[in-house]
Amino acid sequence: MAKNVKIVDDSNFDAEVLNATGPVLVDFYTTWCGPCKMLSPIVEKLADEFPGKLTVAKVDLDQAPILASKFGISSVPTIIVFEGGKAKASHTGLANRQKLLELAGVS
């Protein structure tokens, strides 16, 4: 796991994501999902490339069922970018680096 990735669950989501300053890219995943495993290194690299510009968090939905329900996540991986406490962009399924940068609005 990249050092700049925050591990988030039901107990700390509001503090780490909704109350954060700037955009927060959240990777909702499960450990048994193949596409999630392929997306993970891309997400983690973004966390290391854009410290201070983009916060990156990962949520294991098997460990955070309340969040899965709250955001209506029925397929993984799902990426949601939050800013100012609100979801501003999302993508479900495998995505490349460029797509994630577009969602997050960073370059």
Annotated catalytic residue: which of 2, 33, 89, 94? 33
- 33 is known as an active-site residue: yes
Helices (H) and strands (E) in the chain, counts: 4, 5
Q: How many alpha carbons lie under 13 Å from residue 105 in its C-beta half-sphere?
A: 11
Neighbours of 20 (CB within 10 A): 17
What beta strand segments (E) does 15-107 contain? 24-29, 55-60, 78-83, 86-92
- 36 is known as an active-site residue: yes
> Which amino acid, 26?
V
Annotated catalytic residue: which of 5, 8, 17, 36? 36
| Enzyme catalytic residues | 33, 36
